[in-house]
């Protein structure tokens, strides 16, 4: 009996494990917190259900047929010269083609509806944010508020956010899985990402494109606040008297992983455009 004592625990392991596993998914799109991510999750579910019906027959038929027609089964038919059937041929070409055509329509629709460049329909004007990928941190500029942050993004709830991205270094990719998909940030070029948060909370953002020794630490928190609190936050940052001056600017372009997020109470005008233009110039 002593040997058996561990077994109940062993059987309890998988459910426990799955339970703790679900916690991990809370960091992803499953636990979406904005309209874009919500639609994306919706699409995952639709496509996933369709695909169960595509993959299911193979998963069932392969073992069933292999086992039924095993050599030692004397009761199964054996037709070594049988090699074709128009019916089966139709069955394996036509339905999959039909499903792909159907999924094609779905894909076309959602690719346009969830195009990261597409502005999110709303009564409120979008909040403009400019994101600059640096080694190994993100600089977020709020051009209308004339403030900036490093490794920290505050956004108001229920208002569309329009992010313009570029890179001050190698290519990177900005991903906030609970809010929207990712897009690359490349030097000398601007890409765009539209997203919105539908509830307050703190969400994880990151760079997903490997860019060197500090890559694994290039994470930041996205804090979604009610509109009023967001305005308070902007006002507080403005009064923090820590401007993004020449020395701070030079520091940003050095390779580093800042231990704490940084806020800048003011930024030079056309900072984003300057970074864009600068990366086209020869490197010293």
Partner 1 sequence: MNQGIWPAVLGRFEWHELPFVRAWENPTASELIGAGAALIVIIGAIAAIALITRFGKWRYLWTEWLTSVDHKKIGIMYIVLAFVMLSRALIEAVLMRMQQAAAISTPGFLAPDHFAQLFSTHGTIMVFFMGMPFLVGLINYVLPLQIGSRDVAFPLLNSISLWLTGGAAGLMMVSLVIGEFSTGGWSGYPPFTELAFNPGVGPDYWIWAVTLSSIGSTLTGINFAVTIYKMRCPGMRLMRMTLFVWTTLCTSILMIFAMPPLTVATAMLALDRYLGFHFFTNDLGGDMMNYANLFWLFGHPEVYILILPAFGVYSEVVATYSTKELYGYTSLVLATAAIALLSFTVWVHHFFTMGQNADINAVFGIATMAIGVPTGVKIYDWIWTMFRGQVRFTVPMLYSLAFMMTFVLGGFTGILLAFPPLDYLVHNTLFLVAHFHNMLIPGLLYGMLAGYHYWFPKAFGFRLNEKWGRISFGCWVVGFYLAFMPLYVLGAAGVPRRTQGMFDPIFRPWLYVAGVGALILFAALGSLFVQLWISIRERDDNWVFAGDPWDGRTLEWSTSAPPPEYNFAVIPHVHQRDPFYGAKRGNSYAPPTSYSDIKLPKNSVTGPVIGVFGAATAFGLVWHMWWLAIIGVMAIIATVIARSFARDVHKIIPAAEVERTERRWLRAVAEATPIMREVEMTSANQGLAEVSR
194-220 burial: b if 16+ Cβ within 10 Å, else e: bbbbbebeebebbbebebeeebeebeb
Cα four-point dihedral sign 71, 77, 80, 84 = negative
CB closer to partner 1 out of 28 and 125? 28
Contact set for partner 1, span 174-193 (CB under 8 A):
175, 177, 180-184, 186-189, 191-192
234: contact with partner 1 by CB under 8 A: no
Task: Please identify which residue in 12, 25, 202, 277 interacts with partner 1, judged by CB under 8 A.
Answer: 25
Q: Residue 256, interface with partner 1 (CB under 8 A)?
A: no
What's the CA gap between 20 and 264, in Å, rounded?
A: 39
**Residue 67: phi, psi to the nearest 5?**
-75, -45
Binding mask 100-139 for partner 1 (x = CB under 8 A): x--xx-xxx-xxxxxxxxx---------------------
Among 5, 20, 123, 246, binds partner 1 (CB under 8 A): 20
| Least gap, CB of 268 to partner 1 (angstroms) | 21
- Tell me the closest approach of the beta carbon of residue 244 to partner 1, in angstroms: 22
User: Which residues inside 31-90 make contact with partner 1, applying CB under 8 A?
Assistant: 37, 39-40, 43-44, 47-48, 51, 54-55, 58-59, 61-63, 65-67, 69-72, 76-85, 88-89
| Residue for token pair 């070594």 | 80
Q: Rounded to whole angstroms, how far apart are CA atoms 279 and 284? A: 11
Is 171 or 234 the residue whose CB approaches partner 1 more closely? 171
* 280 is a site residue for partner 1 (CB under 8 A): yes
Of 111 and 227, the one with the shorter C-beta distance to partner 1 is 111
Restricting to residues 144-173, name those near partner 1 by CB under 8 A.
169-171, 173
Long-range contacts of 201-206 (CB under 8 A, 24+ apart): 201/33, 203/33, 203/176, 203/177, 203/178, 203/179, 204/27, 204/176, 204/177, 204/178, 205/138, 205/153, 205/174, 205/175, 205/176, 206/174, 206/175, 206/176
């Amino acid at each position: 009996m002593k040997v058996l004592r561990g077994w109940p625990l062993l059987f309890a392991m998988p459910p426990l494990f799955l339970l703790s596993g679900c916690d991990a998914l809370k960091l992803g799109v499953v636990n979406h917190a904005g309209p874009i991510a919500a639609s994306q999750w919706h699409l995952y579910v639709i496509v996933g259900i369709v695909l169960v019906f595509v993959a299911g027959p193979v998963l069932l038929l392969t073992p069933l047929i292999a086992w039924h027609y095993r050599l030692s089964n004397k009761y199964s038919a054996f037709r070594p010269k049988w090699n074709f059937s128009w019916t089966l041929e139709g069955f394996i070409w036509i339905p999959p083609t039909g499903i792909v055509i159907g999924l094609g329509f779905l894909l076309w629709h959602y690719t346009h509806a969830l195009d990261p460049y597409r502005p999110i329909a709303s009564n409120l004007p979008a909040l403009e944010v400019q994101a600059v990928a640096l080694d190994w941190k993100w600089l977020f500029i709020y051009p209308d508020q004339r403030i900036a942050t490093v490794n920290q993004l505050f956004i108001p709830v229920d208002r569309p956010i329009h992010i313009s991205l570029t890179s001050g270094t190698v290519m990177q990719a900005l991903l906030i899985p609970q809010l929207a998909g990712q897009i690359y940030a490349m030097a000398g070029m601007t890409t765009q990402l539209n997203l919105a948060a539908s509830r307050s909370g703190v969400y994880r953002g990151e760079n997903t494109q490997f860019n060197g020794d500090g890559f694994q630490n290039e994470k930041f928190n996205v804090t979604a606040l009610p509109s009023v609190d967001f305005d308070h936050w902007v006002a507080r940052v403005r009064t923090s008297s820590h401007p993004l001056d020449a020395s701070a600017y030079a520091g940003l372009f050095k390779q580093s992983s800042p231990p704490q997020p940084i806020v800048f109470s003011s930024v030079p005008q056309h900072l984003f455009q300057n970074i864009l233009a600068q990366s086209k110039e020869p490197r010293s």
